[in-house]
Amino acid sequence: MAPEVPSPPLTPHQGAPRPHIVLFVIDDQGWANVGYHNKHVITPHMDEMAQQGAVLDRHYVFRWCAPTRAAFMTGREPYHVREKANYVTRGMTMFPRKLQQVGYVTHQVGKWHLGEHEDWMTPHGRGFNTSFGYLAGGEDHYTQIQKNSIGCNGKDLWHTDKPAYGKTGTYGEYMYNDYIQEIIREHNPSTPLFIYAALQSMHAPQQVPSYYSDMYKGYYEDFAIMNGMATVSDEVLGNMTAALKAKGMWQNTLIVVTSDNGGPSGLPVVSSGNNFPLRGGKEGNFEGGIRVASTIGGGFLPAKMVGTTLDGYMHASDWYPTFCGLAGVDAADPNPKATEVPGVDGFDLWPYISGTVESSPRTEIMISAEDNGGIISGDYKMIVGVQNYGFWTALNYPNKSFDHSTVKEVDCGKGCLFDIRGDPSEYVDLATSMPDKLDELQKLHKKRSATSYMPPNMENDAARCSAYLKEHQGFLGPYYSWQKGVLTV
């Protein structure tokens, strides 16, 4: 199933050097939870990346984490891979497997959230040589305890092909920092490297060592904790770049730094992410939920692009063909069930990022095919259905003066329409004044939604999960694949 908007030929860049590649994802980082967007936030290394790399000003993702991560790993927009499913179909080749085909060594660190029931769903099962992190979507930062919906609660920390026995009980970002350092320290620079560093910070629960929250004395407690998590994430980034430089790898490295969705500004429990001046946040389709702070840097970035701001549209799904092209592997992903499994949607952004062409190849973004989804086309964005909130914050949000009891849902019905170029904060709904444009986007959204794809959910089994937990010292793992103490393919 080909994308409705044809992308350029998905072929490698002939004769181009193959860089080391890092995809560095901060979980739930809001637009204003970074120093280069907010003077109140301490992120010197991210700020340096913005100054010595390039700012990706129109980088779009899904409104919550797992579908964005699925787009990163498969090159499909979320409505073609997973918006509601709890895993990614085996019929799609994930990006690290593509890189392995051309000699890359691949490592995953931190959050996975792309399947945990079977061993083939784990990072190692999907193409990473090693992994160290957790399989689900969130857990206690210090104990690594995951409390899931079926009551099978346990330690969620996985090391390549087995539970990470003896390694729990430390603040997660400290562990992930050390593992990244080990990867770089032991790597042979002559072999191309891919690191997917997906931190748990700044995801709930809001926890950070006091060393970092104390940097924000005088601010509201929630502000200090949340932005302390941004600062610890920034420190991991800084340590990683320093290690690459010390190893002599920096000049041939390309790093993309991004969030997986906007900051949670109005959720019932967590409301301390900040997306100022964008409207709304996580789990909604206003700009604050899907347009994220992002930069690209490293010595591989052409010198003429240093210090620039790229305002062309980019989407999480575009990194798959972009990186494949740089690695020298065809990004096309033919599948025996081609009529059932959609092909790659993403565009190769490298000609635009490298300054070879002036405009991004992407002109449309399918936000979501869900009842509260939407679409971007040209300068305009249409969203439909109920958005969980749509208020605006301030640079020092959260603060004592904000009353979350006043937060209300925003019902867009059959369509709210915004000029997101001229009105990036989405103050003015143009649905009434521009009925023809609204009708155009409604029809386009309906056409795209008709091709949506979602594998059936994997059924949870509390009994099997509990049996696995009992036999593995309280650790969670792919319990569907486990039989009599053996993981089977």
Query: Tell me, what DSSP letter sits at residue 475?
Result: B
Dump pLDDT digits (tens) for 222-239: 999 999 999 999 999 999
- Cβ distance 441 to 420 under 8 Å? no
Find the catalytic residue in 37, 59, 65, 416.
65
Catalytic status, residue 113: yes
Residue 17 binned pLDDT confidence (cut-offs 50, 70, 90): confident
Q: Which pLDDT score, from 0 to 100, does residue 2 have?
A: 38
pLDDT over 90 percentage in the chain: 91
Asked if residue 339 has pLDDT above 70, the reply is no
Select which of 113, 117, 124, 445 is catalytic: 113
Give Dmax (Cα) for the chain: 65
Distance CA 212, CA 232 (A): 7
Residue 16 pLDDT grade (very low, low, confident, very high; cuts 50, 70, 90): low
Q: What are phi and psi of 24, to 5 degrees?
A: -110, 110
Quote the percentage of the chain above a pLDDT of 70: 94
Give me the DSSP letters along 22-84: EEEEETT--TTSSTTT-TTS--HHHHHHHHHSEEETTEE--SSHHHHHHHHHHS--GGGT-SS
Q: Give me the domains of the chain, ranges plus CATH numbers.
A: 20-362+456-487 (3.40.720.10)
pLDDT over 60 (residue 472): yes
pLDDT of residue 6: 44
Q: Give the pLDDT score at 474.
A: 97
What is the b/e burial string over 239-258, where b = at least 16 CB atoms within 10 angstroms of the residue's CB?
bbbebbeebebbebbbbbbb
Torsion of CA 115, 131, 94, 355, to 10 degrees: 130
Span 118-127, average pLDDT: 97
Look up 324 and say whether it is catalytic: no
pLDDT of residue 4: 47
